[in-house]
Amino acid sequence: MSLNREKYQALADLLKQLHSDATKNQLDVAQLRQRLASLQQFFGQEIAPLAEVDSREQSYRTEISKQLRLLEIDVMFLQGARQQSTAQGRRQTISDRLTTLMQYCDTILQP
């Protein structure tokens, strides 16, 4: 497996773990924010600077970056939710966004 593929696989694994924990309500909002910050840091340090990418991979990398920023906003909205129904809706939005991110990684990892 190439170094780039290994890094995308590591990102996919981090996303899957976060998705699993977030959907099982095992994380409170503070933990979710901290894990997301670690995920964004990993992306910024390991994925963003990768060289030798084709235009397809570059497009997905741009989308992943955008979705991570939107995920950060979703987590802020979850933190501001005062009613249980609103919080549940925010968690569903976060789950959906994490699923999208995992699909992007899976697509990049396809041979």
- Greatest alpha-carbon pair distance for the chain in Å reads 47
Q: How confident is the model at residue 107 (pLDDT cuts 50, 70, 90)?
A: very high
* Domain residue limits, the chain: 3-109
Contacts of residue 103, defined as CB under 8 A and 6 or more positions apart, other chains included, come to: none
Question: DSSP string spanning 9-46?
Answer: HHHHHHHHHHHHHHHTT-S-HHHHHHHHHHHHHHIIII
DSSP 79: H
pTM beyond cutoff 0.95: no
The predicted-structure confidence for 38-72, as pLDDT tens digits, reads as follows 999 999 999 988 876 688 888 999 999 999 999 99
pLDDT at 1: 46
DSSP string, 65-89: HHHHHHHHHHHHHHHH--SHHHHHH
